[in-house]
Copies of this chain bind each other. A is one copy, B any other.
Amino acid sequence: MARSFRGNPMIVTVTPNPAIDLTYQVAGIVPGGSHRVRPPLLRAGGKGINVARVLHGQGVPVRAVATAGGDTGTELAAGLGGIEHRLVPVGAATRRTIALVDQTDGETSIFNEFGASLLPAEWQALAAAVADELPGAAVLVGSGSLPEGAPADFYPGLVALARHAGIPAVVDASGGGLLSAASAGADLLKPNRAELLEATGERDLAAGARMLLRLGAHRVLVSNGAEGMLGFESGRPGQLSARLPQPLVGNPTGAGDAAVAGAASVLAAGELDLRVLLCRAAAWGSAAVLMPGAGEISPDWQELESDLIVEELS
């Protein structure tokens, strides 16, 4: 599976439930009040697109595959900035997310629209677009929630496409999507602590991760907030922990997507070692906390990576 021979290790990200993100700065939010606001910052969003944005910002070749529909779908295309992309046209309008940043205290209130259902033919078109992008790709990343009525085998289908292309599949999903991706033999899963416990029904992080490995996943990285990140691998008895000497202060929004981007960039270079994956994911995730906006990581990520305290726990 070594891919170091590839001249152009392109990462393909798939976002089954993208969104156009509208971020408003509000000078003091008064519940029940009327507020005058400047036009919002408009960005293409959804977890796979956010992963692509981080990779693009770091100069890693990446191509974002997503659906787009309606006038918000046109906005989505415009909001991708310079990210290479392939948008599969669908009938239903792309959903919005609305973020209201209260400038008086920095507190952000978020309103995420549910994604509209896709037609069966549209799910097929999305899968066909992914398959079409895989020749020449080094890694396939599938990220985020699924719209209502999604086929239960969507993430397993992505894992199968990656296996067919001979490249690793990374999945960042929650609930049934996480479990089904594990069962399909995903090369890397990256739930956060809450998602892991909710999906597996376990009370203990390590027990949850081990369940995903038993189901078929090869590696699991679990983000655990300020306590850092844990890595698990099938056939490896213990677990690896990576954390910074002291927790960072900043904006954790998008840190999980940055961690996935970090791990994907390592895989794209042909590296499968759990320690390397864990450290790069932890470093990029931490470097995202230092930046004000989601989708960016601090240029000091290498320093953060070298500061990591990595321990083998039994």
The verdict on A236 contacting chain B, using a C-beta distance below 8 Å, is no
> When each residue 20-38 of chain A gets 1 if its CB lies under 8 Å from chain B and 0 otherwise, what string results?
0010101001111111111
In this complex, the interface size class of chain A, counting residues with CB under 8 Å from chain B, is 35 or more
Give the CA-CA distance A108 to B32 in the complex, in Å: 5
Which of chain B's residues have a CB closer than 8 A to the CB of A184?
none
* Chain B residue with Cβ nearest A99: B34
Which of chain B's residues have a CB closer than 8 A to the CB of A114?
36-39
Give the CA-CA distance A24 to B112 in the complex, in Å: 10
The verdict on A95 contacting chain B, using a C-beta distance below 8 Å, is yes
Beta-carbon contact of B112 and A34 below 8 Å? yes
Which of chain B's residues have a CB closer than 8 A to the CB of A103?
none
Q: How many copies does the complex hold?
A: 2
Beta-carbon contact of B30 and A109 below 8 Å? yes
Give the CA-CA distance A93 to B102 in the complex, in Å: 24
The verdict on A311 contacting chain B, using a C-beta distance below 8 Å, is no
Beta-carbon contact of A32 and B109 below 8 Å? yes
The verdict on A199 contacting chain B, using a C-beta distance below 8 Å, is no
The verdict on A100 contacting chain B, using a C-beta distance below 8 Å, is yes
The verdict on A4 contacting chain B, using a C-beta distance below 8 Å, is no
Give the CA-CA distance A72 to B96 in the complex, in Å: 13
- Closest Cβ of chain B: how far from A273's Cβ, in Å? 35
Of B34, B39, B112, the residue contacting A93 (CB under 8 A) is B39
* Chain B residue with Cβ nearest A108: B32
A interface, CB within 8 angstroms of B: 22, 24, 26, 29-40, 71-72, 74-75, 78, 93, 95-96, 98, 100, 102, 107-114, 116
Q: A36-B112, A71-B78 are in contact. List 4 more A-B contacts (CB 8 A).
A: A31-B102, A32-B102, A37-B111, A74-B74
